[in-house]
Amino acid sequence: MQFPQDFINRNLCGDAIEIMKQIPDGSVDLAVTSPPYNLKNSSGNGMKDGRGGKWASAALQNGYSHHDDNMPHDEYVKWQRQCLKHMLRIVRDDGAVFYNHKWRVQNGLLQDRQDILKGFPVRQIIIWRRSGGINFNRGYFLPTYEVIYLIANPKFKLAPKANAYGDVWEFPQEMNNPHPAPFPIALINRIISSTSAQLVLDPFMGSGTTAIAAKALGRDFIGIDISPEYCNMADDRLARAFPTTEIQPKLTEAKTQPALL
């Protein structure tokens, strides 16, 4: 495969690290991603016995089609740190990585994912407040947010006026998507439109949400996912959203905020 022609505006089916290794340094403007959270490796909660979790149907009880979301914790941390190293290598020196993750309680203590993020240039933590969730544990309050780490290379700047969004964003979870853990499209639309990035990488593309948001905003994308099923899902979604080669700004938030397009 040759960069860029075989990568841009494609959902590439394969391992995130193996494919990222083929992308040259400083060749992408922005990375936006939500990795597997390793939720099945847990000290015990609804994700294990199916009582609830991030998504209403707790669809992740079965893991992903080609990843069981149950790695030994140390191995998972090492893997995610390697993924972040590649993302930061690939984005330009005025680029950034928006890395979505979830904090949780393990054995009665907060697991805030600092072990993954330690040493990376985290500039800000954005709170994504989302509705729903179920918690039967009387030891702590019902969790209602996830985090998005803005990990920025030194020269990164937001698009003009985007800083007015603040650092607490409220978007409902995506419910009408067969993928077990999709981003809400409005969330990714907010991230991409807050930057001037032309080329956006998502190494855990899943159902193609980052691709759809990028194209709707007139940007380009590189998508990677290990699951052929999800790669097909992403391609089908793109084909439905953009039946011609012209960009069709159909997204909900894009419609309500035409100034950002």
Ligand X SMILES: C[S@@+](CC[C@H](N)C(=O)[O-])C[C@H]1O[C@@H](n2cnc3c(N)ncnc32)[C@H](O)[C@@H]1O
CB of 83 to ligand X, least distance (A): 8
User: Which of 100, 194 has the CB closer to ligand X?
Assistant: 100
CB of 208 to ligand X, least distance (A): 7
Q: Which of 163, 158, 185, 155 is nearest to 173 (CA)?
A: 185
The CB-nearest residue to ligand X is 206
User: Which of 67, 89 has the CB closer to ligand X?
Assistant: 67
CB of 153 to ligand X, least distance (A): 22
CB of 160 to ligand X, least distance (A): 27
CB of 77 to ligand X, least distance (A): 15
C-alpha 189/C-alpha 209 separation (Å) is: 9
User: Which of 93, 208 has the CB closer to ligand X?
Assistant: 208
Sign of CA dihedral 104, 80, 179, 146: positive
Residue ranges binding ligand X (CB under 6 A): 15-16, 34-36, 64, 66-67, 179, 181-183, 204, 206-207, 209, 224-227, 230
The CA dihedral of 147, 150, 90, 229, to the nearest 10 degrees, is: 20
Q: Is 222 helix (H, G, I), strand (E, B) or coil?
A: strand
The CA-atom distances, in angstroms, between 48 and each of 45, 60, 65, 212, 259 are 6, 9, 17, 32, 44
DSSP H helical ranges for 54-200: 73-90, 114-117, 185-193
- Element at 11 (helix H, strand E): strand 10-13
C-alpha 109/C-alpha 34 separation (Å) is: 23
User: Which of 66, 157 has the CB closer to ligand X?
Assistant: 66
Q: Which of 165, 185, 161, 166 is nearest to 174 (CA)?
A: 185
User: Which of 194, 209 has the CB closer to ligand X?
Assistant: 209
CB of 93 to ligand X, least distance (A): 25
DSSP H helical ranges for 180-227: 185-193, 209-216
User: Which of 94, 127 has the CB closer to ligand X?
Assistant: 127
